[in-house]
Structures are given as structure tokens and as C-alpha cells.
Amino acid sequence: MLRIILLQLVAMVVAACTAGLLGGVSALWSALLGGICCFVPNGLFALRLYTSARKPGGANPMTFLFGEFIKIATTLALMGAVVWLYRDVNWLAFVLSFIVVLKSYLILLFRHRP
């Protein structure tokens, strides 16, 4: 889980830097905020699963489902906060960065280990 979260952090930084180079400061901040809207809820979800798995009895399906619900609600709340508080949102950079961070785990799936 930690590798996925770290990969998402790297993908967020790369997406933000790329957006900044191509679209300016507004695109950089939009891409960074879009990545944060995905990265933070996933990090909190991973932390919750990790702590639940360390308890006696381990994690159960309800812990996972409740955590997933909280992750989705947190993602939507963060997106709403960005739209409400940051008026210069570059929507292309915001959405593309969110998608890049969300799907960055695919890199680990296709990585071959010797």
C-alpha cells in the first residue's frame, strides 16, 4: 500500500510540473489540487486499513466498505472545496491530474520483477 501511495505522490508532482510548464501557474495549482483530491483520501484509506490490520482479529469487510465510503465522501468534499475556494481552476489540468493520480497504480501492475 505504501508503494502505491508514494507512486501517487510522484505522479501528482509530475502531473503538476507538466501542467505548470504547459499551462502556467493556474494550471500548475489546478493539477496539484486535482492530485491532492485523489492522493489524500487514498492515503487516509491506506492508513485506516493498515491500522485495522494491526489490531487483534485484523481488518474485516465492514472496515473496508466503511473506509471506501469515507474515501469517496472525502474526495467529493475536497473537489467541492477546490471549486468553491479556488476560482482560477484550469479544468483540463485538474481533471487530467486527478485521473493520472487515480490510475497511477497501473504502473506497479505492469512492472516486472526479476
Q: Which residues contact 58 (CB under 8 A, 6 or more apart)?
A: 52
pLDDT in tens, 80-104: 999 999 999 999 999 999 999 999 8
CA distance 8 to 72: 17
Residue 114: is its pLDDT beyond 60? no
Whole-number pLDDT of residue 4? 86
Contact 74, 40 (CB under 8 A): yes
Whole-number pLDDT of residue 55? 79
pLDDT in tens, 35-88: 999 999 999 998 988 888 787 877 678 878 888 999 999 999 999 999 999 999
Take residue 93 and report the three cell numbers written for it: 489540468
Whole-number pLDDT of residue 70? 94
